Each structure stands twice: as C-alpha cells, then as structure tokens.
Amino acid sequence: MNLAQQLNCSTRWLPALLVMLAMVTFSTSTWGQTSSIYAMPQAAGGLTLEDISLTTIEVSPPREIQKYDTITIIVDEKSQLLSEGDMQRRKRANLTAVLEDWVKFEGFSLKPDKQTDGDQTIAGKLNSQFRTQSEMETRDGLKFRIAATVVDIRPNGHLVIEGHKSIHNNEEHWEQRLTGIVNPADVLPNRSVLSEKITELNISKVEHGHVRDGYRRGWFLRFLDRVQPF
C-alpha cells in the first residue's frame, strides 16, 4: 500500500475517532439523574431548586419593616388566679389584782394607810375566738386584633409600636389602646405578631354604653369596697 492509499484510509476513519473522543470527554464531565444516595463530590450541595425545576419562581425576601409601617397585633391574653385561706385564733386571759397596801402623807413623812372598807380588788377574764375562711377563684380573658404603627426603632432593631382603636355603635363605645416593644424576628410573614411576644406590653380597653351601665358599680359601692367598714 502506497502513501496515498494510507492517507485516504486515515482520513476515512478520522470523523469516527473525533466523535468517540467527544463522547468520552462529555461522559467524564457530566452526570445524569440517579437514585443512588451518593452524589458526585462536585455536585453534592451545589444544586438548588431553581437549577433542577423549570417552574420554580424565585421569591424575593420580605421588605424590612421601617418606621411608620403598620403591623397587626393579635391580642390573646388569659389569666387565672386561685387563692384559699383558713385562719383560726383563740385567746384566753385571766386577771386578778389586789391592792393590799397604801400610803398617806402626814406632814413630810409617809405613813401606812389601811383601807377601812377592805383591800381593793380587780378581777377580769378574757376569752376570745377568731376564725376566718376565704376562697377566691378568678378567670380573665382578653382577645381582639388591632393595627399598630411603628413609632420608633431602637438601636438594637426592636420596634416600638403604638395602636389605637375607637368603635361607636349607637350608644355603645369601645376604646382600645396598646403599646409595647417588638422583636422583628417575632413578626410573621403577614406582618402580624402575637401579644405574648411583645415586651413592656400595655393594653387598655374601655367600654361605655348600656352594656357597661348594666354591670358597673355605683360610686357609693366603690367607696364601701375601698374603705371596707365592715
């Protein structure tokens, strides 16, 4: 075989060799899906949901809360108090006193003075008993929602909030006020926060109207409860 025939044979196999070389190179640099729990070192921990999903939409992080923004406060406060008391006291005393000797002045000297009607005697007896028993059980609850404004931001990033709400319904009037300090980490994605997460919480709820007049105490009863004369 002459030189021309050898070059023609080599040229005929050259495309096949190039295709095989490309396949080998591609197989060593790429990998496909596998059910094995072992991943390639360069791929482990490197893939994200956006890399493997065609329908994933990247969600932008929530906007940082700024001054004068509004957040919703979910107030759900409950308290329970149980108190029991029992006291019993007894006291008994007997007293007997006799005046046996007495003195009198005669000039500049003291002389014994005998009692003509007999010695003076004092006798007494005290017997007292005191018993008291008390039992108290109270339960309170307060639940409502109110929008509060961020009036200030502390140097550590905590939010100072303040909220007011006033509702009028015919002759009924409700007023609600709330102040406190909120950690931004406790604010939920929907811009709401539970009242139990608020520090220095101050809640005020005032009612006016027929409903309030039906169960409120008069000024004389309030005076008696404060003085407690009996």
Q: What are the extents of the domains in the chain? A: 70-79+138-227, 82-136
Task: Provide the percentage of residues in the chain whose pLDDT is more than 90.
Answer: 20
Q: Give yes or no for a contact between 41 and 161, defined as CB atoms under 8 angstroms apart.
A: no
pLDDT, tens digit, 9 for 90 and up, residues 120-138: 788 888 888 877 787 878 7
Query: Which parts of the chain register pLDDT below 70?
Result: 1-47, 49, 215, 228-230
Could you identify the residue written with the tokens 């005697």? 121
- Look at residue 25 in the predicted model and tell me its pLDDT: 58
- Look at residue 30 in the predicted model and tell me its pLDDT: 47
CA atoms within 13 A on the CB side of 26: 7
- Look at residue 96 in the predicted model and tell me its pLDDT: 86
- Look at residue 229 in the predicted model and tell me its pLDDT: 65
N- to C-terminal Cα separation, the chain: 135
- Look at residue 130 in the predicted model and tell me its pLDDT: 76
- Three-class SS of residue 206? strand
- Look at residue 200 in the predicted model and tell me its pLDDT: 92
Residue 179, burial from CB neighbour count under 10 angstroms (0-12, 13-18, 19+): middle
